[in-house]
Amino acid sequence: MNFVDKVWKILVGIKDGLVLLFMLLFFIGLFALLSARPHPGTVREGALLLALEGVVVEEKSLLDPLETLLSGTAPVSEYRARDIIRALDAAATDSRIKVVVLDLSTFLGGGQVHLTEIGEAMDRVRKAKKPVLAFARGYADDHMLLAAHASEVWLDPQGLAIIAGPGGTNLYYAELLDKLSVKAHVYRVGTFKSAVEPWSRNGMSEEARANIGGVLGALWEEYQANLAKARPRLALGKVTGDVIGWIGAAGGDLADAALAAGLVDKLGDRIQFGERVAEIAGKPPGDETPGAFAASELDSYLADLGPPRGGKAIGVVTIAGEIVDGEAGPGIAGGKRIADLLDAALAQDLAALVVRVDSPGGSATAAEEIRRAIDRHRQRKIPVAVSFANLAASGGYWVAMASDRIFAQPATITGSIGVFAVVPTFEGSAARLGIRADGYRTTPLSGQPDIIGGFSPEMDAVLQGSISASYRDFITLVAQGRKLAPEKVEAIAEGRVWDGGAARQIGLVDAFGGLDDALAWAAAKAGLKEGEWHPVFLGAANEGYDSLIRKLLTRRGTGTPAAQAGAGGDIFALVAARNAALGARLVDDLERLTGTRGAQALCLECPALPAARQRKQDEPAGLLALLAALAGR
């Protein structure tokens, strides 16, 4: 009997081992398949198809293939702005490309700077005598920033096109916290640092309203000028100023109203649009599908182009998303991760360094860690330029202080030189539940911070002192980096937000321009002529499996709620998308209140970028984070 048991155990062990082996081989094979990059051979003569099924970003967030497949939900697709621009510029002179097609049916938006730069690249395609055609079932503000630059803008007859303009509402929780007997301790420096107002007020302060109103007003003027130049026949005043009259004149038909106002050029469904493209691009060989046309997709076309090469290397480090402590990212600016990338690049023979920023800021300690790493390159006597994208505020501005020149665009939002923190205590809530805190203390700081018993005046003084010290550091860095008197920096600081045009006037940035302008300036400063250098993007990861995973999950109907809502193309789909975003917004606000992350150089009042980011923080840092850790013991 013992012999039979032993044999049986051996057989079971062999079986389990074989199962594990086959599973391992399966996942290795699956990963290899998903890691395969698009093959350049798939590029065909015809159209360059830009089917933007998600958001335009500065840096793609990291996708874990196995975790995503097991979750069964595809994250929102992300497209780097620089990739789209590079493809458009190449298409302008590529004899294989007869027409550029933008499919914006499931486009979810992008920052104004990114979309403006893509629109300018579309103009360059048209100047090369190549048509650009756009199609969607619904156009909103971000869609129109792209579509306005197309030769022909098509709209599904059941769709709509509207322009709402920037702005909206914030949520304020002071009355709710009072009803719950929760005390929000607010520590800040800066009259205009309104990021703390949701916890201390029931509405926007007049200072915050005036500041953000000026910034959004400047962005709105820039937006209107862009559309007026691209589509002179567009009756923008009627579309935005007399919505009821505009729709009423079209008998309530939103598609006809869009056509009459010059928002779109033609009404037609996807089949009709495809047939129009096929007139220019040709039909794919052997494909008789209605509306089919010969086309190459973005990933395949970029693979065919290959990475830039030739000449000396100019390093480009990307700081995108909220700045946090630790290894987070890409897509989130983990301070340690970015500092490590920069330090590793010290061993490379870089002719210059360009820092690309698209961030609302975040952890002050992480921002300083990144700034110091940038400064180590500057100490090697190589040119260091900074290029601001849509947003470079608070900590996003902090990191730029170790540079020789700062470039921004008129629609860039920057400044917000201020620091804050919010820490809740629950002594009132505990008392209502019959919970009391008592004990023996040897000093006023004994047992502090005490989130149940409340903070002592001495603890409040320590916390406010920490915020004030971080603010003084910020002011000093800006004064030194911009060669301004501290008094002048104080006058334009206090958390005030600026648009790119105003920021240039007051000395916060040096010149207008995008990433290419910053690269060209850095190359010239390094003594390099055109063709003698190429950019190297530090930390760029292999993303070959990314698009395939997203397509697999999307085809199964398991895309994100935002993407699914955006695919509807009518006004009710927009409402659904807003409802889906509201829940995430409430959770995010709650997490910000309860999840102390240290002193924050963060612009929460700045308009949010469309990409949904999962904030990750690997290591607590700063005094407030240390106190939070102590309180949790």
Positions marked catalytic: 193, 394
First and final C-alpha spacing in the chain:
55
Please count the helices (runs of H) and the strands (runs of E) in the chain. 25, 22
Question: What share of residues in the chain are helix, strand, coil (percent, to 5)?
Answer: 45, 20, 35
133's enclosing H/E stretch is strand 132-139
Backbone Cα Rg of the chain: 27
Helical spans, DSSP H, in 187-326: 197-200, 206-230, 236-241, 243-249, 254-261, 270-281, 298-305
Nearest-angstrom CA–CA distance, 471 and 466: 9
Close Cβ partners of 539 (under 8 Å, ≥ 6 residues apart): 317, 318, 330, 337, 338, 341
626's enclosing H/E stretch is helix 622-631
Comparing CA positions, the residue from 151, 170, 165 lying closest to residue 100 is 151
Q: Show the tokens assigned to 156.
A: 């599904």
Q: Residues 464, 621: contact at Cβ < 8 Å? A: no
Nearest-angstrom CA–CA distance, 151 and 102: 11
Nearest-angstrom CA–CA distance, 53 and 76: 8
Close Cβ partners of 378 (under 8 Å, ≥ 6 residues apart): 353, 384, 402, 403, 404
Nearest-angstrom CA–CA distance, 207 and 204: 8
Nearest-angstrom CA–CA distance, 270 and 187: 54
- 12-16 — which CB contacts under 8 Å span 24+ positions? none
The DSSP-derived string for 512-578 is E--HHHHHHHHHHHTT--TTSEEEEETTPPP-TTHHHHHHHHHHTT-B-HHHHHHTS-SHHHHHHHH
HSE (side-chain half, CA atoms, 13 Å) at 113: 31
Q: Residues 404, 524: contact at Cβ < 8 Å? A: no
Comparing CA positions, the residue from 365, 416, 412 lying closest to residue 389 is 412
Q: Show the tokens assigned to 567.
A: 């695919």
Q: Is the peptide bond before 457 cis (omega within 30 degrees of 0)?
A: no
Helical spans, DSSP H, in 107-184: 112-127, 141-147, 174-179
Close Cβ partners of 444 (under 8 Å, ≥ 6 residues apart): 456, 457, 458, 459
